[in-house]
Structure 1
Amino acid sequence: MRHLSRIPAPHQRLQRLAGAAALALALVTAGCATRPPAPCPVCPGEKPAAPTAPAAPPLQPARFDELPGWQDDDLAAAWPGFLNSCRGMKSRRDWPLWRGTCEEAATLGTPDSTTARRFFESRLIPWRLVNPDGADNGLITGYYEPLLSGSRQRLNPTQHPVLPVPADLLTIELSDLFPELKNLRLRGRLQGNKVVPYWSRAELAPREAKLGEKAIAWVDDPIELFFLQIQGSGRVKLPDGSLLRVGYADQNGHPYQSIGRVLIERGELKPEQASMQGIQGWARANPTKVQALLNENPSYVFFRELKNAEGGPIGALGVPLSDTRSLAVDPRTTPLGAPVFLATTWPNEERPLNRLMLAQDTGGAIKGVVRADFFWGFGPDAGSLAGRMKQKGRMWVLLPPGVGPR
């Protein structure tokens, strides 16, 4: 799940309460931080714990000739996405480090692949991404923009709402108090004067009728709505043939749990069957069990209506995603906006897929150094590729001089 977008500001009263909750959290944190250390780290008769190996640095120096297939990729196809990344980075804290590179790129117009390659090699430095255990291989999955069938109104009792952010959802930005927690936030709701966790998916299900009074749309398939929440954006085809576009707005604060893993553990699907298509097939064959299965994942995503413009959905960087050239990454180690060279294979194949991508999105399940989600585009064909993609891959991030680790 990728998709970090701006969300509507909560009511002022909720903001004050959220601030109070954050202050309480700060006090608790401060109290924990000032506890004295245990008087006996190693007690008599006990052996000291074996020292753990230091974690490998996430970025390690590399050369362009180490990137498999770098000379074969059509870098002209990545150029529009790179210019979009430059536009998105203008509002970010690290823009001064990218300004010179992006301003020069803007003067080149529409370069061919050779010119684009010469530009990247002269202006950027490749860094190999490495996991804490020293491995440079990680999981590469895929996502896409799905098409659902639905309407603005609830046409029959079996439809399911695409919900906006509820008015009672509190979002507490921890970075307001602790800058080092810049990618962490808490979500909850008020219960009297107490902030408690927000409703889980199972708890939201019986409340959908009430919440649906403000639904953006109603769709006719619960499993497709579930996958819309995983993808983070999509389009709904309305009865008159027009398309409604929706994108991620917020989430209920509960951790994501894989329903594919649940079906494997129950013996209802084999591991090789637990793709998006396999789960959809199981749901069609077991309609009375679908809601119970979905409730195994307590995470729930809320949406906002987007302008029905051309191009891909808006990613976390704030720019449209480029089909087969945008990646969702973990921004803790891969800066949003940066070019990333990806070396992996096509879904369910050994055929190499080596391509310059752009880090333009994030996702709830995209955690780790060598971890990415490959954006395949819009519609059923893109969905077929995205649903089958679960490959091993390596990644190199390209950064301007002085941006990498010191």
Structure 2
Amino acid sequence: MNSVVFKKDTSFSARRLSAVFLSLGLSLSACSTLHPPHIEPAPQPAPPSAEKNKPVAPSNNNKQPENAKQAGIRPQNFSVSWVGMTNEKAASALAAFQQSCPFLISHTDKSGLTEKEDWSTPCSAAQAMTGNNSSGQAIAFFDRYFEPVVVGDGKAFVTGYYEPQILASSQPKTNYNTPIYRRPADLIEVHLGDFQSTLKGRSVRGRVEKGQLVPYFDRAAIDKGALSNRHLEIAWAADPVALFFLQIQGSGRLALEDGRVIPVEYDGQNGHDYKAIGRLLVQKGALENSQATMSGITDWLHSHPTEAVGIMENNPSYVFFRERGDRNPLGAIGIPVIAETSLAVDPAYIPLGAPVVLMLDTKHGGDSPFVNGVWIAQDKGGAIKGLNRFDSYWGYGAKAEHIAGGLASHGSAWLLLPKGVAARIGSEKHDKAQEGTKISGSTGSDKK
């Protein structure tokens, strides 16, 4: 029997896993026009001493810090107005922050940087501005109530996600025979923190068989009919490849033959680890690194139908959907995400609900810095892990698909923390260092 897979909770996004494809060699052919403000350097380590020649344990320096507080922050000195956002983007960011406030003041920040009460002042001020979000006022708001900090080295990697639309039928028929499933009732999620405090925030998914929790059916088993005859079908897709990528995006629209459109969104995943088929195709020599984009992988799968099923089944992860009505897809904080404003982050490094300033080194076509500005961390995803890793939401339609499908850029990121938080963290760090010095000195005296 396979071992149970440990997973972090996900929301509107298993789909952000598409970024895995984009990171396999995609580059953007555009030049930079804006230069980010200078990032204050981290303190330099002390010169090596004679102790350097002593045997030492293997270094753990390559291990990623557990959260933002452990990674460290450095306050920066610049105004948000410098970024040069459009009027619409500034107002949209403020509106999104207003919507995020109930989450910020009621949930524990997994990054370790903020307390719930830290958000009270900016959130009260933001709510007082509801319905009056002009660009100038929005920028002034972020400047007045926040200060930019670098988390870790501040070097960002940004991808994009969007809502695809695929052809489907309300009934199975010739050329429409790939089911789009709702979440099965026997898919169970167990929160491990309920059993052991050290596992808080982690969960497993599976099903009960003979009184034991076992892994849920993987993609291959589901493709072979493990969920057949259970009346779970929302519709039947015309193209299994299109459905595969709809699962990666996590949300989208089903365009039915009769002209109706059914918006659907992520409603759970089978608990198996995601495996990038783009990487697999590169390893097999079927694609070059530069071809391992979403469009390149799609083209290969369509042109190799006999091999396509097996390749897709190398990714055991399977996503289930629910109909969502006319609203936008829900993000990780339980509110609809907003195109060109909502950002998927790793909550261990960026507080969910917080504002983030992005400044990319490149542009995507056009002549405007389309990403640069304030975004609000309202989502998370399976591939969005680590320091300064971001996935930007672009909405629905051809433009969204074009931008999100081609966005894989490096740049700079600044987290906007409520004023006073950075100083408090610095003070706590200083006090902890002082306490460590006292303990060390006391230990030395005891040895005398």
Structure 1 residues 223 and 328, CA, compared in 2 at 3 Å: closer, same or farther?
same
Of 109, 133, 144, 1:122 maps to 144
Aligned pairs for 1:378-389 (under 5 A) are 378-389=396-407
CA contact (8 A) 2:154 2:414 kept: no
1:84 Cα deviation from its structure 2 partner = 2.1
CA 285–302 in structure 1, closer or farther in 2 if over 3 Å, else same: same
CA separation in 2, counterparts of 1:165 and 1:223?
A: 20
Q: Partner of 1:346 in structure 2?
A: 363
Q: State the one-letter code of the partner of 1:143.
A: Y
Query: What residue in structure 1 maps to residue 331 of structure 2?
Result: 315
Of 29, 35, 49, which aligns to 2:57? 49
For 1:359-374, list aligned pairs within 5 A.
359-374=377-392
| 1:58 maps to 2:56 | no
Which amino acid is 1:61 matched to?
R
**CA gap 1:106/1:176 in 2 versus in 1, 3 angstroms:** same
What does residue 27 of structure 1 align with?
none
Distance 1:114 1:163, change over 3 A: same
Question: Given that residues 144 and 378 in structure 1 are in contact (C-alpha distance below 8 angstroms), is that contact kept between their aligned partners in structure 2?
Answer: yes
Instruction: Please report how far the alpha carbon of residue 316 of structure 1 lies from its aligned counterpart in structure 2 after TM superposition.
Output: 1.0
Aligned residues: 361
1:68-217 alignment runs, 5 A limit: 69-72=82-85, 74=87, 75-89=90-104, 91-93=106-108, 95-108=116-129, 109-130=131-152, 135-156=153-174, 158-179=176-197, 181-207=199-225, 210=228, 213-217=231-235
State whether structure 2 residue 353 is matched by structure 1 residue 337.
yes
Aligned 8 A contact 2:339 2:395 in 1: yes
**2:259 aligned with 1:241, yes or no?**
yes
User: TM-score, normalized by length of structure 1?
Assistant: 0.80
Q: Normalising by structure 2, what TM-score?
A: 0.73
Match of 1:4 in 2: 11
Q: Structure 1 residues 137, 225: CA separation in 2 closer, same or farther (over 3 Å shift)? A: same
> Per the alignment, do residues 49 and 369 of structure 1 end up closer, same or farther by CA in structure 2, a change over 3 Å counting?
same
* 2:138 partner letter: A
1:163 and 1:211 in contact (8 A); partners too: no
Work out whether residues 328 and 363 of structure 1, in 8 Å CA contact, stay in contact via their aligned partners in 2. yes
Residue equivalent to 2:441: none
2:73 corresponds to which letter in structure 1?
Q
Give the direction of change, closer, same or farther, for the CA distance of 1:66–1:289 in structure 2 (3 Å limit). Answer: farther
- Contact 1:245-1:307 at 8 Å conserved across structures: yes
Distance in 1, matches of 2:162 and 2:9, equals: 11
Q: Secondary structure at the match of 1:65?
A: coil
The percent of aligned pairs where both chains have the same amino acid is 38
Contact 2:190–2:204 (8 Å) recurs in 1: yes
Alignment match, 2:320: 302
| The 10-residue stretch of structure 1 (324-333 or 167-176) with the greater mean CA deviation from structure 2 | 167-176
Q: What aligned pairs does 1:229-308 form with structure 2 within 5 A after superposition?
A: 229-308=247-326
- 1-side partners of 2:196 and 2:9: how far apart? 24
Tell me: CA distance 1:97–1:67, structure 2 relative to 1, closer, same or farther (3 Å).
closer
Task: From the superposition, tell whether residues 372 and 181 of structure 1 become closer, same or farther in structure 2 (CA, over 3 Å).
Answer: farther
Alpha-carbon separation, structure 2, partners of 1:146 and 1:298: 21
Shift of 1:339: 0.7
SS of residue matched to 1:210: coil
Shift of 1:348: 7.7
Q: Is the 8 A contact 2:168 2:176 kept in 1?
A: no
Whichever residue aligns with residue 49 of structure 1, its letter is: A
Residue 59 to residue 247, structure 1, CA distance change in 2 (3 Å): farther
Going from structure 1 to structure 2, the CA distance change for 1:303 and 1:160 (only over 3 Å counts) comes to same
Distance 1:67 1:80, change over 3 A: closer
Greater relative contact order, per chain length (Cα 8 Å cut-off, separation 6+): 2
Partner of 2:444: none
How far 1:347 moved relative to its partner? 4.2
Query: Quick one: which amino acid aligns to residue 71 of structure 2?
Result: P
> Cα offset for 1:113?
2.1
Could you tell me whether the CA contact under 8 Å between 2:206 and 2:271 is conserved in 1? yes
CA contact (8 A) 2:183 2:232 kept: no
* SS of equivalent residue, structure 1 residue 374: strand
Q: Which amino acid aligns with 1:346?
A: K
In the superposition, relative to structure 1, how do residues 348 and 107 fare at CA in structure 2: closer, same or farther (>3 Å)?
same
How far residue 158 of structure 1 moved from its aligned partner, in angstroms, is: 4.5
Q: 1:261 to 1:68 in 2, by over 3 A?
A: farther
